[in-house]
Amino acid sequence: MHLQLLSLLASAVLAVPIIDREQQALGSAGGNGPYNPDNNDPYDHKVDSYAKGWQPEPWRNGHGATVFGPRNRDRERQNPDMIRPPSTDHGSMSNYRWSFADSHMRIEEGGWTRQTTVRELGTSTEIAGVNMRLDYGVIRELHWHKEAEWAYVLEGNVRVTALDTEGGNFIDDLQKGDLWYFPSGHPHSLQGLSENGTEFLLVFDSGSFNEESTFLLSDWLAHTPKAVLGENFRVSPQIFKHMDKTDKYIFQGSLPGSIDEEKPDGAGVKKSKLQFTHKMLDQEPVNTTGGLVRITDSTNFPISKTIAAAHLDIAPGAMREMHWHPNADEWSFFIKGRARITIFGAEGNARTFDYMAGDVGVVPRNMGHFIENLSDEEPVEVLEIFKADQFQDFSLFQWLGETPKRLVADHIFQHDPKSAEKFLTQIHDAEKDPIKSGSGTNSE
């Protein structure tokens, strides 16, 4: 009898549904913004869950369910379109997002470095990036690479030195927003200036680049017989007795004087005819309805033969228009703000990624995409970088505006003449607007 009673009680317990605490917390009032089962959004509007403090949940237009299992809630708030992708996402696409926060940090005397290459982000095949910090007087030692090096100063001041193939020397002091470019094999050095030193983004024209494999002066000397060093420099080998036996890489150096005080003045010294640096943020920007665009490539920075770049300031609520690049993959580095990008890969494939400061994004050449500022209050600052001598893109707006109207209408509005008329009026002038301001039409 007791056994029968226990069996009945156990059956009753098993029949009671498990309470979904997540769903219960959301409630029917939608206290978690749009992330609740009652939310209906057929147009897939953007959501800035990070700023709003909302916890993304896999609910979309009544479909989905909450997550029981282990969760990284902070990461989910940073990537809301991974948890609840737009209904237009479809198919299988590779990953096109990486954060420098997930890259290994190499810490040295007075500085550090971390890299994003094809090893960290498998789709980053054309370009590799290195984020580096040098404190005041700290030196990235004299070295060279197989790959060309392009760089953007993120903060602070830095001194660069270089030598060209004709034996001309180059020295310049750079600040935030300035660039440098050293072609393959050109020897150079970097040193932090000012009280707080510098931080910069290095870009190399090969995704398989490895910061650990650069050709370092100290490494070469340490692996050359001292007798050979003596013969080469016409000195006694004994003077190399106390030389470092390992590479220096990043190290605290003596504080630099002015360029005039430090420039070489020997009989055989000559100044380079090449300009290895460029002031990108000093360029006159292209003013769009939704922000500012500055483009730097071989047309205005002639030495930069393998890297082209655009600096974008995308205003709150604005969007980098729908476009694609025919000549190279886009490698983006986000400096400020939060954005989403949907990549269209043909064959019905599309996937949306979210980015914030310190993130890297890749869009393969010819794949359609946009960059939408998730915030209506904060701007997005981003670098678009390409392994190319010139910046090139195609605007969807401009393309349709310069195509016969009948043809456009037949493609998109064949059975809706009223909508066709409105659309064709909007694209009539075909004026390219790289960053479009928020129009307010998304609320309709």
Six token digits for residue 184: 């393959």
Q: What is the DSSP letter of 280?
A: G
Q: Is 2 annotated as a binding residue?
A: no
Instruction: End-to-end CA distance of the chain: give it in Å, rounded.
Output: 66
Based on the residue annotation, tell me whether 384 is a catalytic residue of this protein.
Answer: yes
What are the angstrom distances between the C-alpha of 206 and each of 12, 44, 213, 363, 392? Answer: 64, 36, 13, 15, 19
Task: Decide: 193 and 158 in contact? Cβ < 8 Å.
Answer: yes
DSSP-assigned beta bridge partners for residue 332: 361, 384
Q: Which residues contact 76 (CB under 8 A, 6 or more apart)?
A: 49, 55, 56, 82, 83
In 3-state terms the chain splits into helix, strand, coil percentages (rounded to 5) of 20, 35, 45
Q: In terms of DSSP H, where are the helices of 79-154?
A: 80-83
- Element holding 233 (H helix, E strand): helix 226-233
Task: Decide: 337 and 356 in contact? Cβ < 8 Å.
Answer: yes
Q: Is 63 annotated as a binding residue?
A: no
Six token digits for residue 347: 């064959």
Task: Decide: 357 and 378 in contact? Cβ < 8 Å.
Answer: no
Q: Is 143 annotated as a binding residue?
A: yes
Burial 406-421 (b: 16+ CB within 10 A, else e): eebbeeebeeeeeebe
What distance in Å separates the CA atoms of residue 185 and residue 237, rounded to the nearest whole number?
28
Q: Which residue has the tokens 């147009």?
A: 43
What are the angstrom distances between the C-alpha of 129 and each of 184, 242, 271, 364? Answer: 16, 35, 30, 16
Which is catalytic among the residues 195, 384, 421, 444? 384
Nearest 5°: CA angle at 206, between 201 and 212?
65
Q: Is 325 annotated as a binding residue?
A: yes
Residues at the binding site for Mn(2+) are 143, 145, 149, 188, 323, 325, 330, 369
Residues at the binding site are 143, 145, 149, 188, 323, 325, 330, 369
Q: Looking at the annotation, which residues are catalytic?
A: 384
